[in-house]
Chains A and B, each alone.
Chain A
Amino acid sequence: MSRWVKFLIVLVLGLAAGLLYGWVINPVQYTDMSPGALRSDYRTDYVLMVAEVNHANHNLDLAAQQLAMLGSTPPAQIAAQALQNAQLLGYTESDLQLLSELSSSLQSWQPGSGISP
């Protein structure tokens, strides 16, 4: 076997070792994540918390601000997505109702409109 072949074989082995180390043994650690990267079930629960608070204070501006933590998607869309996820995850009827209430309220919400009736 020529030295070039050996060279390439060892090169590939080194590459594989590097990938193994970088992806498996010591991957890049993300410790400062934003809520937008939350797993869908956590996102859904986050939205549920917003819905619970909104149900008590009817403050859609506040709810929208809280939902904005999850990303740049419109709040109504975030709430609607959460409602879908909640249905898939088997949330209780009361929780679904809260999410539905938030979602439908946000459909007609305009920024700055403040406290909903």
Chain B
Amino acid sequence: MTEGPSSPRRGNWYLLTAALIGLGLGLIYAWVLSPVRYVDATPASLRADFKDQYRLLIASSYIATGDLGRAQARLALLKDADPAQALNAQAQRLLLAGDPNHASTVLIMLAEAIQPGTVSPTPASFPLPVSTVTRPAETATGATPIAISSPILRPSVTPIAISSPILRPSATPIAVSSPILHQSATPTSTPGEPFVVTKQEKVCDPSLASGLLQVDVRDAAGRGVPGVEILITWNGGQQQFFTGFKPQLGDGYADFTMTPGIVYNLQLAKNSAQVTGLSAPTCPGQAGTTYIGGLHLVFEQP
């Protein structure tokens, strides 16, 4: 014999059933049939590749106008934890993808400009590619962006001379931290003979970060070569970094923080032999103590 909800023998389970059905229907309506629609999105909610495009446009606009305050305000809309680092990271991705349009340069210039305490040249004083446009789908896969670029020359703006005192880094070095800034728009390695290691020395300077591996890449004339890709590998990992991202230390300078006890192999991505067996050395400190020092490698073209 069947019993309806009015049957007293059913207890209150039907109420729970009703609640669950109602809840389910409500969620289906709220999440599927009529979800909350965001029509007033903020730049921070953009998809990552659109954010890259937005960031690049901010940098291009900064190059065009030189208005750093406005660029900073716009960058703040993206809510990146570290806008300079986000710019550098995007530039790094572009460089790794080949960056045929040198869009990384504008990103790096803006990153340099927003770094506190850095001397940055007036952007519009340099002939630089303005911008590139990337199709979202292509950007997402790291493919080559389509681009139309043209130089900006604003002769009315006086270039600021960059004095480059030789500074040794005191902050914690990372593979990419501070941006490149060059008079030449395209960071390229000098074609020619393979680079050879002309100096490999232990650096015992307690003011430097522990395990700092400093690399200088120079051409045959002894000039620093920016934009040289360096590949460092160790047991279970590898990393790429580029010269020229710390222009205050030289166009051909790059550094990497070694973990004590790990042995690294390093070579320039193109045109160099591999340097093996690199590890953070132990240096004598005061009163018989020791500390972790660093290494300095110099690559030169013969």
Contact = CB atoms under 8 A, between A and B. Distances in A.
Interface in B42-91: 42-43, 45-48, 50, 53-54, 57-58, 60-61, 63-65, 74, 77
Contact of A65 (B39, B48, B54, B148): B148
Interface stretch (B24-32, B185-193, B202-210, B273-281): B24-32
B18 interface: yes
Name the interface size band of chain A: 35 or more
B19 interface: yes
B115 interface: no
Name the interface size band of chain B: 35 or more
A93 B144 CA distance: 38
B302 interface: no
Contacts of A6: 14-15, 18
A30 B91 CA distance: 26
A100 interface: no
A57 B22 CA distance: 59
B133 interface: yes
A18 B14 CA distance: 18
A19 B130 contact: no
Contacts of A21: 23, 26-27, 30
Nearest to A40: B40
Contact of B45 (A12, A31, A52, A114): A31
A39 B236 CA distance: 46
Contact of B42 (A18, A42, A58): A42
Interface in B77-130: 77, 124, 130
Interface of B: 4-7, 10, 14-15, 17-31, 35-36, 38-43, 45-48, 50, 53-54, 57-58, 60-61, 63-65, 74, 77, 124, 130-131, 133, 136, 146, 148-152, 154
Given A7-B17, A30-B45, A37-B39, 5 more contacts: A3-B5, A3-B10, A15-B23, A18-B24, A23-B30
